[in-house]
Structure 1
Amino acid sequence: MRITLIILALLWLSGCAYKAEEAPAGSWLAQKNSLEQLQDWQLSAKLGIITAEERGSLSLFWRQNSDDYRMNLTNVVGKRVFDLSRSGNKVALIDSKGQQHQATDARELVWRLTGWDLPVEQLSYWIKGLPGADDQVTYDEHGRPQTINAHGWQLRYFGYTQIDGLWLPSRLDLTHKETKLRLAIHQWELK
């Protein structure tokens, strides 16, 4: 009888542990798992860039397809500031004069050509409200990321919108040293 009780207790405990790993619908863990699986998306946004030398307001179009992406920035009159794309391990930037530049590191390439510090690779996750494994995160009253501190960047999420059952950021600020980015997303498309 004692062995049967021990076995039942162990089975009950293992069942509780298994259930604890399952995410209830609508929880942050369920949201996080869905965001990690979201590989194909696009958005349109306004991007404000403030540095020690300049201030600007740009239109941003971003299309993500797994690890590859295309980011297009235009100024207020619709003129291309740059097109940045990644295909495999190659990053290409077409500048405002139509000249193409290549590198393996998008952040370094953008910095070298514009003087703007854009955390392109991390931004593809942060823009979805998805912190990295080592990022320091605080959550809002609904369990969504409110702030993220990582790689010297401080992010603050000011709004979310629900798209296809997922809560995706609609407004966020990013700060790193003398660079401040303000992002207001007005359209998400999930594929």
Structure 2
Amino acid sequence: MTILFTVLTGCTTAPAPTTEWQTHRAALSAIDSYTARGKVAFIASDTRFSANLYWHHTPNASTLRLTNFLGTTLLSLTMNAQGATLIDDQGKQYQDPHPARLIAYLTGARLPVDALAPWLIGQPRAQDRFSLGPDNRLAALDDAQGWHIDYQDYSAETQPALPTRITLSNDQQTVKLMISTWTLDND
């Protein structure tokens, strides 16, 4: 019986250790460039789709790329201080000063891309209401535009611990993110 228990314990992923919030928040604030790779699912009453997710953020720009299971790019969005440029799966280019509006127009899916840079790493913005979990990391937050974000899991393999499962929802849609790979590019 002990051997079986040891084997089963060895197969589980260790949870990220508990941290002190102010220390964790300071470590998150020090991250200026990163890449997240994983999967995203959009669920709404009239739209359901999933894709592979690539998100790259630097202090000057962010890039979101969604691909299908074959690796074909469905859309590529680049955002900077001047606005957003989206290239669709046909290679057609669209521009708009508001990246979320651009994605909604072309896909029907609402995604708060303007706020994703801090939210993906588990960092609330100054205007967000948030709560911490028992591990002293972000457990949930709400923003003024009606988004509710739940942080279900964090990686024990990143320093600082970064989210691996996030659900964003509003009254019209749910977006589920599973981050499988984090790369911190800080200089």
TM-score (normalised: structure 1): 0.83
Q: Which has the higher contact order (CA 8 A, sep 6+)?
A: 2
Q: Is the 8 A contact 2:67 2:73 kept in 1?
A: yes
1:51 aligns to what? Answer: 44
How many pairs were matched up? 166
1:88 counterpart residue number: 81
Q: Which residue of the partner structure matches residue 183 of structure 1? A: 177
Off by >4 Å, runs of 4+ in structure 1: none
Q: Which residue of 2 aligns with 1:13?
A: none
Deviation at 1:37, TM superposition (A): 2.1
What do residues 72-104 of structure 1 show as CA deviations (whole Å, max 9, x unaligned)? 001223222100002332310000110011111
Tell me whether 1:136 sits opposite 2:129 in the alignment: yes
Equivalent in the alignment of 2:140: 147
1:23-172 → structure 2 map (5 Å cutoff): 26-150=19-143, 151-172=145-166
Q: Give the distance between the partners of 1:140 and 1:134, measured in 2 at CA.
A: 19
Question: How large is the RMSD of aligned CA atoms in angstroms?
Answer: 1.3
Q: Identity, % of aligned pairs?
A: 27
For residues 114-172 of structure 1, the C-alpha deviation after alignment (integer angstroms, 9 at most, x for no partner) is 11100001111111100111211111111111111112001111100134420100001
Is the Cα contact below 8 Å between 1:163 and 1:188 reproduced in 2?
no
- Verify the 8 A CA contact 1:57 1:76 in the aligned structure 2: no
Q: Give the counterpart letter for 2:86 in structure 1.
A: L
Aligned equivalent of 1:19: none
Which amino acid in structure 1 is aligned with residue 150 of structure 2? Answer: R
Letter in 1 for 2:137: R
TM-score by length of 2: 0.84
Which secondary structure state, in structure 2, belongs to the residue aligned with residue 121 of structure 1?
helix
Measure, in 2, the Cα distance between the counterparts of 1:75 and 1:51.
19
User: Distance in 1 between the 2:67 and 2:138 partners?
Assistant: 29
Amino acid in the other structure paired with 2:84: V
Q: Which amino acid aligns with 1:70?
A: T
After TM superposition, the structure 1 stretch with the greater mean CA deviation from structure 2, 114-123 or 163-172, is 163-172
Higher share in helix: 1
